[in-house]
Amino acid sequence: MKARWMLWFLPALLMYGQLGQSQSRTEGRRSVITTQTETDRPESIVPDKPRDLSDKPAVSSFPFETETGVLAFSNYRLGSEDLIYVQVMDSPEFSRQARVTAEGLIKLPLVKKPIVASGKTTAELEQEIARLLVDEGLLREPLVSVTLREPNSKPVSVVGAVRNPLVFQALRPLLLTEAIAKAGGISEIAGPEAMVLVPERDGKPSSVVKVSLKNLLESPDPKDNLLLRGGEEVRVPNAGRIYILGGVNRPGAVLVNVEEQVTLLRALALAGGTTPTASPKAFLLRPSANGPEKKQIAINLKKLMKRQEPDLPLQTNDVIFIPDSRSPPWKSKTSPRCSPSETPACSSTTGTSITS
């Protein structure tokens, strides 16, 4: 009887054990799946490096482009009373419309620190907001977009060869000389002209006005001393260069700045004068306005030194080459002894062959 009972109970016990092992394996797999899912699930707030948005174009309220596309009006810089819209993708709790305060700040929801907006382009402000969202542990890779809705500020920027480039708000109309003075004046390497980029205004298209700095600073003419009302950009390019090569004591480049017109005699003086073996004939290579080729002008240095010929005014990128009298005669088909890396004008020449 006891043996018969054991024969009946043993299969049931084995079946129960297999069922328990199957449930244990199933629970183990569930545990592994659950663990993997929880591990792989991205956390919503993890400080990390923000996405680089520097390649995103900024919004410009005053676009300007010449027919050749060489110049473009700079990106609008925000100022007080500008109305902007900040959008953080997939995070509407951070998105809002904001007006730049008189102190140049904006405030965003959940962001502890006020954000400096004044003086920044929309692209620069996008990067600043993204950085703060990461630094405060709010988002890991925020994608921020800033749109200018109402430009109410009046920024004037002065850039280039000035002592202290800056952007300031034109609280009242001011003269061009005042704007340059705010930037500390022009530097020693300033070129002879300034460019004022004027935005579209009163139905008139955007434009570029070139102003002679020498005339502007010595005796301001009302036509040159423009009245700035905000939105303008004043650019002071660096001085151009004139290159003196060959038979001079200090060959190299001479700056063409705003102070005075550089002539051939002055350029020779700045180069330390000619060497004892310099040829009495020199050659001026001048860039052509119609292409990459250079115009060649023969110069009699002996007559020039004796004032028997008028002094020659020089232009930016002119190249003066003085051959050595001991060298074979130089012809226009032969390149002067300089490297194209030293000056862009030392590449090709045109004109009648002239020998010394």
Q: Which amino acid is at 134?
A: V
Sign (positive or negative) of CA dihedral 316, 253, 266, 276: negative
Ranges 81-90, 198-207, 253-262, most confident: 81-90
The residues near 248 (Cβ < 8 Å, ≥ 6 apart) are 268, 271, 272, 273, 274, 275, 278, 322
Q: Look up residue 239 and give its two tokens.
A: 């001085």
Rounded-to-5 percentages of helix, strand, coil across the chain:
25, 25, 50
Top-confidence residue, 48 or 258? 258
SS3 202: coil
Task: Give residue-wise pLDDT tens across range 76-117.
Answer: 788 888 899 999 999 999 999 999 998 889 999 999 999 999
- The answer to whether 283 touches 336, Cβ cutoff 8 Å, is yes
Task: Give residue-wise pLDDT tens across range 22-49.
Answer: 444 444 433 333 333 333 433 333 333 3
Top-confidence residue, 275 or 294? 275
Options 3.20.20.100, 1.10.1760.20, 3.90.380.10, 3.10.560.10; CATH of 240-322: 3.10.560.10
Top-confidence residue, 274 or 53? 274
Q: Look up residue 27 and give its two tokens.
A: 């629970």
Cα-atom radius of gyration of the chain, to the nearest Å?
36
Strands 155-160 and 233-236: parallel
Going through the chain in order, the beta strands assigned E by DSSP cover: 83-88, 96-99, 105-106, 115-116, 144-150, 155-160, 166-169, 174-175, 193-198, 207-212, 227-228, 233-236, 240-246, 252-256, 281-287, 294-300, 319-322
- The answer to whether 279 touches 324, Cβ cutoff 8 Å, is yes
Is 90 exceeded by the pLDDT of residue 125? yes
Domains 155-236 and 240-322 share a fold: yes
The residues near 288 (Cβ < 8 Å, ≥ 6 apart) are 294, 295, 350
Task: Give residue-wise pLDDT tens across range 168-201.
Answer: 888 789 999 999 999 999 998 888 889 999 988 8
Mean pLDDT taken over the chain: 75
Is 70 exceeded by the pLDDT of residue 19? no
Output DSSP code: residue 22: H
The full set of domain ranges for the chain reads 46-64+75-153, 155-236, 240-322
pLDDT value at residue 221 = 78
Q: Nearest CA to 270 among 253, 294, 291, 285? A: 253
Mean pLDDT on 269-291: 87
Among 139-153, 168-182, 252-266, 272-286, the least confident range: 252-266
pLDDT value at residue 11 = 56
Q: Look up residue 204 and give its two tokens.
A: 């008139």
Q: Which amino acid is at 110?
A: L
CATH number of 155-236: 3.10.560.10
Convert 29-50 to b/e letters by CB count within 10 Å (16 or more is b).
eeeeeeeeeeeeeeeeeeeeeb
Which secondary-structure segment (H or E) carries 269?
helix 264-270
Among 58-72, 261-275, 326-340, the least confident range: 58-72
pLDDT value at residue 8 = 55
